[in-house]
Structure formats: C-alpha cells, structure tokens
C-alpha cells in the first residue's frame, strides 16, 4: 500500500481522523487519545499539509486547532477550504482563545463542533464519535435517495406457483448467511426484487441496499461509481466522491448485469471481495468496507468463462450460492394474480380504480409466452389501464401480439365431427398462431423461429408469405 507524503503519519483502521496542530505535543496527545479510542489517526503540522492529506486520502473527521503557526485564524481558513473541497468530512475546532463569536464563526464555516482548551480526554472522544455518527447518517441518507424503489419484502413476491414458492424458500435460507449470492434469470423476471428480499430478511436490513446496473454505465464512470475517486484524479473530478462500496458499508451492494462488467474492473472487484478494501481512483490508501455482494445476470457466465470474457476466479467467488428466478412462462398460474395486482396499482396511480380484467383478456395474458417476463406484463397492463375506455380491460385493449395468442387451439380434433370440418382453415389457424408464437419467443429471428417449429428457414419463409405474416 502506498504511504502518505512526508509529514503525514497514519495507522489503518475502520474510521480515520486527521489531527491538525502546529504543536507536536498536542498532536501527540490527540493521537494517543484517538488511537486508544480505536481510530486510525493521521497528523499534519500545518494547513498546507492538512490540505495535501485531504486531497489524497479519505477521512471520517478532522480535528484542528484555531491557531496554527503565526496565523491566528488559519484554522478558520482550513474550515473554509474543507467547506469548498471536502464538505462531507466533519471538522472539530479546538482552541484556547475562544469566544462565542469565534464559535459562531466556526459553525458558519462548517465546523461540526467546538472544543475549548483545556479539555478532557473523554470530551474529545465524544465529539469525534458524534461527528462520525452524523457523517454515517448522511451516508445512509444518500443511500436512501439512490434507492429509488421501496425496500423489497418477500411478501411483495406475488404468486402461488410451486416455482415462486421455491424461490421464496431459497431466499429465507440464504438471507442470514454472509455468502455472496448470484441470481440467475431472464431479463424482467424479478432478480432485483429477489435481491431486495434477501437484504430485507438479513441482519443488514437496517443498513443501505444499493443497486447498480453494471451494463448501463461506461467503464470509466463505473469504476468511479463503485470505488470512488479523489479530487483531480481525472478530468471532471472536481471534488472527492465516495464509491458505492463505501456508501453501502454495513449493507448490501447489488451488482445487476454483472456479465457486462469489463475485465479490468473484474480484477478490482475480485480484490475487494478478497480483502474487503477499496482503493478510490487517485487515492493512496485503501478503505475497509463491510458489504455483502449480490450479483445478477441474464447471461451464461459459465460460457463466458469458457470464452475468456469473464474471469473464472470471480465467477466462483460470486457464485457461492446460485439462485435461479424462473421466467414467467414457467409460472403461468401466477399470471392472473400478477395481472390483477398491476391493474390495481396502476389504476390507483392513474385514477382508474376498480378496473377488472375480462375473461378473454385474462386468457390471452395466460396464453402469451412473455419473453420480457414480469416487467413486460406490467408494461402491457399499465398501457391497458391508461387506454381502456370501459370499466374492465377487454381483449381489444391488449397489444396485437398478445391478442393473437388467445386464438391458439388448445387441442386439435382427432375425430371427424358429424358436420365435418374446414381442414384448410383449421390448419391455417394452427400454423399461423404457432408461427407467431415462435417468432415472438425467438425474438423475431427467423432462424430461431424455424428451429422452434422444426422447419427449415426456407419452409418458414414460404409460410410467412402464404399467410401474409409480417416477420418484423
């Protein structure tokens, strides 16, 4: 680990305090008091050295004298500098030359507290602990602002199918464990809801739950988001930034779409998992963190390991407890419950309370294959709630691709009815609807649709032309 510049002395521990005083005896006294209280302590003999340390390192609090050197108000200048450059770090002013006016001025410049000399050892320990506690509360408030949705609870997982019951049971079993959990499932199947439920049932429930989509942020910004950076570390880094590992300290960090993380960052993530320390970009010392990692992906990480696009060691480190979330097509029995829930939620939000779902519309929802899973179902019903003109959602209020599925014959007659059948129409109806399903399930890839139907691509194209279907 890199060491601080000459003139700055520190020892590593969970919380770190910077002591600024021009008198060596006072620096030594405060260092002894705070070290005995369990803090890591850095000392600086001047404002210039203090600013250098604050630019390079991350501290939880600063204790500074009012008079440092010949300038009787240099401590105030340090407070002003901190207010401009490191506003999240609380500062405590110590002086033997105080007054009410001086205390007010210190508070105006951002001091968290004010201590008069001579002071008692316990008084210093108390004000530092109080300042750090306040800083931690600010961190948790930041986390809550980032947490855009309500905390996940296991009862929010709607459904009575055996598939979802198995997921609930797994959540209860792993929640209290410290191990990493890797959630596997298709896009829109509810992986983040599962992660939130694990956090909520764990001993970390009172601490932050932070979620980040690893595929939605450019590589350079993703590193800063996760690990933080120091002011001036790169163009645009105008102030210190705490990474999400630090913000989530004590809680859970949910890394969604982990398969999209670049290889260079995979190495850094593995290091954090191994030693529970993060190094901010541009920093020279590591920060100890206590964070549970839950990852999620809709990609085949095992295949990516074989293709050398995902690190094998990181895969095993993340996949200690794998948990699969079933796609919606494997829990068809839950679709009516989910549909009524979404209609009620969006009906309340859009002022359309009391809406029901017509039997024909519900049959279409249950017949559809839902490649976008629960998220797609919710989007379809939000649209239906907004646009339907009656007291209930009819089949006509659903998108065309969903309506088509209601007409799929459940069985093909094997005995000729007394009145006969229109064989060509029956076959055409069956083929048309199965082709539509195959195209949708194959995400409109004709090659994949042909495979699902056991046809050659040429045969599929022939049928598309024959029935006037739009492959797009």
- The pLDDT tens digits for 359-387 are 889 989 998 989 999 999 999 999 999 99
CATH fold match for the domains 16-145 and 161-325: yes
The answer to whether residues 324 and 300 touch, using CB atoms and an 8 Å cutoff, is: no
Distance CA 209, CA 247 (A): 9
Phi, psi dihedral angles at 54 (to 5 degrees) = -70, -30
Would you state the CATH architecture of domain 329-407?
A: Orthogonal Bundle (1.10)
- State the SS3 of the chain: CCCCCCCCECCCCCCEEEEECCCHHHHHHHHHHHHHCCCEEEEECCHHHHHHHHHHCCCCEEEEECCECCECCHHHHHHHHHHHHCCCCCEEEEECCCCHHHHHHHHHCCEEEEEECCCCHHHHHHHHHHHHHHHHHHHHHHHHHHCCCCCCCHHHCCCCCHHHHHHHHHHHHHCCCCCCEEEECCCCCCHHHHHHHHHHHCCCCCCCEEEEECCCCCHHHHHHHHHEECCCCCCCCCCCEECHHHHCCCCEEEEECHHHCCHHHHHHHHHHHHHCEECCECCCCCEECCCEEEEEECCCHHHHHHCCCCCHHHHHHHCCEEEECCCHHHCHHHHHHHHHHHHHHHHHHHCCCCCEECHHHHHHHHHCCCCCHHHHHHHHHHHHHHHCCCCEECHHHCCHHHHHHHHCCCCCCCCCCCCCCCHHHHHHHHHHHHHHHHHHHCCCCHHHHHHHHCCCHHHHHHHHHHHCCCCC
User: Does 154 have pLDDT greater than 90?
Assistant: no
pLDDT of residue 8: 40
Radius of gyration of the chain, Cα coordinates, nearest whole angstrom: 30
- Average pLDDT on 180-193 reads 94
Would you state the CATH architecture of domain 423-467?
A: Orthogonal Bundle (1.10)
- Average pLDDT on 9-19 reads 66
- Average pLDDT on 7-27 reads 73
- Average pLDDT on 78-100 reads 80
Q: How confident is the model at residue 411 (pLDDT cuts 50, 70, 90)?
A: low
Domain boundaries, the chain: 16-145, 161-325, 329-407, 423-467
Q: How confident is the model at residue 12 (pLDDT cuts 50, 70, 90)?
A: very low
| Of 56-70, 128-142, 153-167, 225-239, minimum mean pLDDT range | 128-142
Q: How confident is the model at residue 135 (pLDDT cuts 50, 70, 90)?
A: confident
The listed CATH number (3.30.450.20, 3.40.640.10, 3.40.50.2300, 3.40.50.920) that belongs to domain 16-145: 3.40.50.2300
Residues of the chain with pLDDT > 90, as a percent, come to: 47
Instruction: Say if residue 308 is exposed, middle or buried (CB neighbours under 10 Å; 0-12, 13-18, 19+).
Output: exposed
Find tokens 């089949």 and name the residue. Answer: 395
- Average pLDDT on 418-435 reads 80
Name the class of domain 161-325: alpha beta
pLDDT of residue 137: 72
Q: How confident is the model at residue 101 (pLDDT cuts 50, 70, 90)?
A: low
pLDDT of residue 155: 67
Q: How confident is the model at residue 100 (pLDDT cuts 50, 70, 90)?
A: low
CA-closest candidate to residue 18, choices 239, 51, 118, 281: 51
Q: How confident is the model at residue 222 (pLDDT cuts 50, 70, 90)?
A: very high
Instruction: Please give the mean pLDDT across all residues of the chain.
Output: 85
pLDDT in tens, 38-75: 898 999 999 999 998 888 787 889 999 888 877 777 88
pLDDT of residue 106: 74
| Of 31-45, 401-415, 431-445, 453-467, minimum mean pLDDT range | 401-415
pLDDT of residue 141: 60
- Average pLDDT on 408-426 reads 70
Q: How confident is the model at residue 317 (pLDDT cuts 50, 70, 90)?
A: very high
pLDDT in tens, 262-308: 999 999 999 999 999 999 999 888 888 999 999 999 999 999 999 99
User: Does 337 have pLDDT greater than 90?
Assistant: yes
pLDDT of residue 3: 38
Q: How confident is the model at residue 2 (pLDDT cuts 50, 70, 90)?
A: very low
User: Does 5 have pLDDT greater than 70?
Assistant: no
């Amino acid at each position: 680990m890199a060491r601080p510049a000459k003139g700055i002395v520190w020892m590593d521990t969970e919380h770190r305090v910077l002591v600024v005083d021009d008198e060596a005896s006072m620096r030594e006294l405060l260092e002894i008091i705070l070290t005995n209280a369990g803090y890591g302590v850095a000392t600086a003999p001047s404002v210039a050295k203090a600013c250098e340390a604050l630019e390079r390192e991350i501290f939880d609090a600063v204790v500074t004298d009012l008079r440092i050197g010949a300038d009787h108000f240099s401590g105030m200048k340090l407070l002003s500098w901190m207010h401009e450059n490191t506003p999240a770090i609380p500062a405590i002013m110590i002086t033997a030359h105080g007054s009410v006016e001086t205390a007010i001025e210190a508070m105006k410049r951002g001091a968290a507290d004010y201590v008069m000399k001579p002071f008692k050892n316990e008084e210093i320990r108390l004000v530092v602990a109080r300042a750090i506690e306040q800083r931690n509360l600010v961190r948790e408030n930041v986390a809550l602002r980032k947490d855009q949705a309500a905390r996940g609870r296991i009862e929010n997982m709607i459904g009575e199918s055996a598939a979802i019951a198995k997921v609930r049971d797994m959540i209860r079993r792993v929640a209290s464990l410290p191990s990493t959990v890797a959630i596997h499932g298709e896009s829109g199947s509810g992986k983040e809801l599962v992660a939130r439920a694990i956090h909520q049932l764990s001993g970390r429930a009172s601490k932050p739950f932070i979620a980040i989509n690893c595929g939605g942020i450019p590589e350079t910004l993703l590193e800063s988001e996760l690990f933080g950076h120091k002011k001036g570390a790169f163009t645009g880094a105008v102030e210190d930034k705490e990474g999400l590992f630090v913000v989530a300290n004590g809680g859970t960090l949910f890394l969604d779409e982990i398969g999209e993380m670049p290889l260079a960052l995979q190495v850094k993530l593995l290091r954090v998992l191994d030693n529970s320390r993060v190094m901010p970009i541009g920093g020279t010392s590591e920060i100890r963190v206590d964070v549970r990692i839950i990852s999620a992906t809709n990609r085949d990480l095992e295949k990516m390991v074989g293709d050398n696009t995902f690190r094998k060691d990181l895969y095993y480190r993340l996949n200690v407890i794998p948990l699969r979330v079933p796609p919606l097509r494997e829990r068809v029995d839950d679709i009516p419950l989910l549909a009524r829930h979404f209609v009620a939620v969006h009906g309340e939000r859009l002022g359309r309370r009391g809406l029901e779902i017509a039997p024909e519309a519900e049959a279409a929802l249950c017949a559809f294959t839902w490649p976008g899973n629960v998220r797609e179902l919710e989007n379809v019903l939000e649209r239906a709630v907004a646009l339907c003109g009656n007291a209930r959602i009819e089949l006509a209020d659903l998108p065309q691709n969903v309506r088509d599925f209601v007409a799929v014959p459940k069985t093909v007659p094997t005995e000729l009815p007394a009145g006969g059948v229109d064989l060509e129409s029956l076959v055409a109806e069956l083929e048309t609807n199965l082709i539509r399903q195959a195209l949708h399930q194959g995400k409109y890839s004709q090659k994949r649709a042909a495979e699902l139907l056991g046809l050659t691509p040429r045969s599929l194209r022939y049928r598309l032309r024959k029935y006037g279907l739009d492959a797009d």
